[in-house]
Amino acid sequence: MHVNCIYHSHRDINFVMLTFTLLVVLFASPSWAALPQFSWDTLPVFFHSSNTTGQYNDDALKTIAKFQMATFDKGMGRSIKNIDDEDEMVLAMRAIKAANPKIATYFYMNSYKDLPPMTRMARELSEHPNYYLRDSNGTRVKNVRGFYAFDLSNPEVRQWWLNICLNATKFANGDGCYCDSSQRENAKFYPEPPAKKLKSWGEGLLNLTRDVQEALGENKLLIGKYPGQPYVKAVQMEAFEPTNDSIVSLMLGASHGQVVQAHVPVTIDCSSDLTNYLATFLIGAGQYFYFGCGNWSAAGNDTTPLTWLPEYDKPLGPPKSTGVYNSQTGVWSRLFASGTEVLFDTKTNKGTIKWSQ
Q: Structural domain tally of the chain?
A: 1
Helix (H, G, I), strand (E, B) or coil at 162: helix
Of the candidates 239, 238, 279, 233, the residue with the CA atom closest to the CA atom of residue 253: 233
Q: What is the mean pLDDT of residues 106-112?
A: 97
Q: pLDDT band at 27, cuts 50/70/90?
A: very low
Q: Is residue 3 part of a domain?
A: no
Q: Is residue 91 part of a domain?
A: yes
Q: Is residue 116 part of a domain?
A: yes
Residue 165 · residue 107 · CB < 8 Å:
yes
The pTM (predicted TM-score) of the whole model is 0.90
Name the β-bridge partners of 334: 342
Residue 296 · residue 73 · CB < 8 Å:
yes
Q: Is residue 6 part of a domain?
A: no
Q: Is residue 127 part of a domain?
A: yes
Q: Is residue 323 part of a domain?
A: yes
Q: What is the mean pLDDT of residues 28-55?
A: 85
Q: The domain containing residue 66 runs over which residues? A: 13-354
pLDDT of residue 30: 60
Q: Is residue 7 part of a domain?
A: no
Q: Is residue 109 part of a domain?
A: yes
The per-residue pLDDT for range 338-355, each reduced to its tens digit, is: 999 999 999 999 999 999
pLDDT of residue 29: 52
Q: What is the mean pLDDT of residues 268-275?
A: 95
Q: pLDDT band at 186, cuts 50/70/90?
A: low
Mean pLDDT of the chain: 90
The per-residue pLDDT for range 279-308, each reduced to its tens digit, is: 999 999 999 999 999 999 998 778 888 999
Q: How many CB atoms lie within 10 A of CB 227?
A: 25
Residue 39 sits in a domain whose CATH number is 3.20.20.70
pLDDT of residue 187: 83
